[in-house]
A and B are shown apart, each in its own frame.
Chain A
Amino acid sequence: MPRTPLAWYNLTHDRVRFALFVLGVVFAVVLMFMQLGFRGALLDSNSLLHEHVRADLVLISPNRSALPMREPFSRRRLVQAAAIPGVRSVHPLYIDNGAAVLRNTDPDRRRREASRAVRVVGVDPDAFLLDFPELDPSDPRYLGDRIKTPATALFDRKSHRDPDDPTRSIFGPLVEGARTELAGQGITLVGGFDLGPDFTSEGTLIVSSETFADLLRRPVTLGAPLADVDLGLIRLEPGADVEAVRDAIRREVARGSDGDPEVDVLTVPELVAREHRFWLNNTPIGFAFVFGMFMGFAVGTVICYQILSGDVSDHIAEYATLKAFGYTNRHLAWVVIQEALILAVAGYIVGLGVSWLAYDWLTEASAMPLRMTFGRALIVFVVTVGMCIVSGLIALVRLVRADPADVFG
Chain B
Amino acid sequence: MASEPIPLTHAGYRPPPQGEPILRVRGVNFAFGTGEARTPVLFDNHLEVMPGELVIMSGPSGSGKTTLLTLIGGLRSLQDGEIEIWDGSIGAYRKLAGLDEEGLVGVRRLIGFIFQRHNLFDSLRAVQNVRLARELFPPGPDDAKQVEKLLTYLGLGERVLYKPHSLSGGQRQRVAVARALVNRPKLVLADEPTAALDANSGLAVVTLLQHLARERDPADLEKIVRRPGEDDEGGRIAPEQAAMIPELTREKGATSLIVTHDARIMNRADRIVHMERGKIVSNVVVAERLFVTEGLRRCAFFAAILPEQQQAIADGVCIGIHPDLPVKWADRNRYPGKLEVFAPGEAIIRQDDPVTDESKFYLIRRGKVRVERDNGDGHGVQVLAEIGAQDFFGDRALVTNEPRMATVTAADVVEVYTVGRETFRQYEAISRPFIERIQAVYGGLTFPPGTKIPGLPPIGGFGP
Interface residues of A (CB under 8 A from B): 1, 3-4, 6, 9-10, 12-13, 315, 317-318, 320-329, 403-405, 407-409
Contact = CB atoms under 8 A, between A and B. Distances in A.
Contacts of A403: 75
B133 interface: yes
Given A1-B134, A324-B73, A326-B105, A318 B143 contact: no
Contacts of B179: 325
A324 B76 contact: no
Interface stretch (B87-95, B109-117, B364-372): B109-117
Nearest to B136: A326
Contact of B191 (A1, A317, A404, A409): A409
A325 B134 contact: no
Given A315-B121, A404-B108, 15 more contacts: A4-B132, A4-B135, A9-B123, A13-B122, A13-B163, A317-B117, A321-B119, A322-B132, A324-B73, A325-B109, A325-B136, A405-B70, A408-B70, A408-B73, A409-B66
B128 interface: yes
Interface in B116-167: 116-117, 119-124, 128, 131-136, 139, 143-144, 163
Interface residues of B, number: 35
B121 A6 contact: yes
Nearest to A409: B66
B69 interface: yes
B105 A3 contact: no
A10 B136 contact: no
Contacts of A409: 66, 116, 191
B105 A328 contact: yes
A1 B108 contact: no
Contacts of A326: 105-106, 108-109, 136
B312 to A, nearest CB: 31
Interface in B406-447: none
13 contacts: A1-B131, A4-B132, A6-B124, A6-B132, A13-B163, A317-B117, A320-B119, A325-B113, A327-B136, A328-B102, A404-B75, A407-B117, A408-B115
Contact of A408 (B66, B102, B128, B139): B66
Given A4-B131, A325-B108, A327-B136, A408 B144 contact: no
Contacts of A323: 105, 108
A323 B128 CA distance: 17
A315 B129 CA distance: 13
A84 B191 CA distance: 93
Contacts of B66: 408-409
A10 B239 CA distance: 38
Given A318-B119, A325-B136, A405-B75, A9 B109 contact: no
B261 to A, nearest CB: 13
B108 A324 contact: yes
A323 B105 CA distance: 8
A241 to B, nearest CB: 63
Interface of B: 66, 69-70, 73, 75-76, 101-102, 105-106, 108-109, 113, 115-117, 119-124, 128, 131-136, 139, 143-144, 163, 179, 191
A3 B76 CA distance: 29
A407 B132 CA distance: 17
- Counting chain A CB atoms within 10 Å of each CB, which of B105, B108, B191 scores highest? B105
Query: When A and B form their complex, which 3 residue pairs have the shortest distance between CB atoms, in order from nearest?
Result: A326-B109, A13-B123, A409-B66
A77 to B, nearest CB: 72
Nearest to B108: A326
Contacts of A324: 73, 75, 108, 113, 115
B139 A1 contact: yes
A132 B191 CA distance: 80
A182 B66 CA distance: 93
Nearest to B121: A318
A150 to B, nearest CB: 77
A317 B176 CA distance: 13
A5 B362 CA distance: 64
A405 B76 contact: yes
B108 A408 contact: no
A317 B164 CA distance: 14
B75 A408 contact: yes
Nearest to B125: A9
A6 B113 CA distance: 20
Contact of B121 (A9, A327, A407, A408): A9
- Counting chain B CB atoms within 10 Å of each CB, which of A10, A328, A405 scores highest? A405
Nearest to A327: B136
Contacts of A320: 119
A318 to B, nearest CB: 5
Contacts of B135: 1, 3-4
Contacts of A3: 135
Contacts of A9: 121, 123-124, 128
A315 B108 CA distance: 20
B123 A408 contact: no
B195 to A, nearest CB: 12
A172 to B, nearest CB: 63
A394 B75 CA distance: 24
Contacts of B109: 325-326
A292 B409 CA distance: 97
Contacts of B117: 317, 407
Contacts of A322: 132
Nearest to B130: A4
B39 to A, nearest CB: 15
Contacts of A6: 121, 123-124, 132
B76 A318 contact: no
B30 to A, nearest CB: 11
A321 B115 contact: yes
Contacts of A405: 70, 75-76
Nearest to B139: A1
A323 B70 CA distance: 13
A39 to B, nearest CB: 40
Given A324-B75, A409-B66, A409-B191, A318 B139 contact: no
Contact of A10 (B75, B102, B121): B121
A4 B108 CA distance: 21
A4 B124 contact: yes
- Counting chain B CB atoms within 10 Å of each CB, which of A315, A318, A323 scores highest? A318
Contacts of B113: 321, 324-325, 408
Contacts of B163: 13
Nearest to A9: B123
A324 B73 CA distance: 8
A2 to B, nearest CB: 9
Given A13-B122, A321-B115, A1 B75 contact: no
Nearest to B179: A325
A317 B122 contact: no
Contact of B133 (A10, A13, A325, A329): A325
A221 B109 CA distance: 91
A120 B136 CA distance: 73
A404 B109 CA distance: 13
A40 to B, nearest CB: 41
A5 to B, nearest CB: 9
A407 B179 CA distance: 15
A230 to B, nearest CB: 66
A12 B124 CA distance: 11
